[in-house]
Amino acid sequence: MSDNPQQPQPPPAGAPGTWPPPPPAGYPTQPGYPPPGSYPPPPGYPPQGAYPPPPGYPGAYPPPGAYPPPYGAPVGYGYPPRYAGFWIRFFAYIIDGFILGALIILCLIVVIVGWIALPFVAIGYMPYLWWKRGATFGQSALSLRVVREVDGGPIDGGQAVIRFIGIIISGWVLYLGLIWVAFEPRKRGWHDMMAGTVVIHVN
């Protein structure tokens, strides 16, 4: 008997009864990996294509209001918002000028009460209407609305007062702050930037 008996050798990889099993003939795969589809799906798992695609998919846009508006998109007016430009806002100011002028004349006719009410009418016309109605009468006639820049909601009384002060400041520098509306991407004047507002179309 030999002092160094030959040790038994393990069966080669892929031999019957060993792991990993041999790959199918002609199937290019790495050693030890079973071919695709060799494992059955778990019980109750639906086959591929069992669920229909969403309505209108692919290539269809979601209906308006399907997603919440991002920053700067007015709530309730759709997305993207239509910002009011320089000329339509200019015409709204002209309409407001006629209305305000008529109110001032009316106050002057009523001598006693009129002189007391005149400064309140002149100063409070725009801020009050922005706060309570979202627009002056001139803006309403042209379907415009003053809203919060951040979420499109109605502005409060403080923003209305700041916006009015901003208009006065814009007029002091040769109306540059008002003309700024024509060049700013979201059609904001200095008074809009100061108050955090934008002016949009509502239809």
Q: Which residue has the higher pLDDT, 96 or 33?
A: 96
**Least confident window among 22-31, 93-102, 125-134:** 22-31
H-helix or E-strand containing 200? strand 197-201
pLDDT tops 50 at residue 68: no
Whether 18 maps to a domain, the answer reads no
Whether 141 maps to a domain, the answer reads yes
| Band (18; pLDDT cuts 50, 70, 90) | low
DSSP for 148-194? ETTTSPBP-HHHHHHHHHHHHHHHHTTTHHHHGGGTSTT---HHHHH
3-state secondary structure of 131: helix
Whether 26 maps to a domain, the answer reads no
Q: What is the pLDDT of residue 66?
A: 47
Whether 148 maps to a domain, the answer reads yes
pTM for this structure? 0.54
Number of structural domains the chain divides into? 1
CA pair distance 146, 137, nearest whole angstrom: 12
pLDDT tops 60 at residue 13: no
**Least confident window among 2-11, 71-80, 186-195:** 71-80
Whether 49 maps to a domain, the answer reads no
pLDDT tops 50 at residue 126: yes
**Least confident window among 39-48, 80-89, 135-144, 164-173:** 39-48
The proportion of the chain whose per-residue pLDDT surpasses 70, expressed as a percent, equals 56
CA pair distance 183, 179, nearest whole angstrom: 8
Q: What is the pLDDT of residue 70?
A: 45
- Other C-beta atoms within 10 Å of 127: how many? 21
**Least confident window among 14-28, 54-68, 167-181:** 54-68
Whether 7 maps to a domain, the answer reads no
Q: What is the pLDDT of residue 1?
A: 52
Q: Where does 9-156 have alpha helices with state H?
A: 86-109, 111-133, 137-141
3-state secondary structure of 147: strand
| Band (17; pLDDT cuts 50, 70, 90) | low
pLDDT tens digit sequence for 89-121: 999 999 998 988 888 787 777 666 666 676 777
- Residues 139, 125 contacting (CB under 8 angstroms): no
Cβ-based neighbours of 61, under 8 Å, separated by 6 or more: none
Whether 131 maps to a domain, the answer reads yes
Domain of 143, in residue numbers = 86-201
CA pair distance 15, 188, nearest whole angstrom: 78
Whether 97 maps to a domain, the answer reads yes
As a whole number, the mean pLDDT across the chain is: 76
pLDDT tens digit sequence for 130-170: 999 999 999 999 999 999 999 889 999 999 999 999 998 98
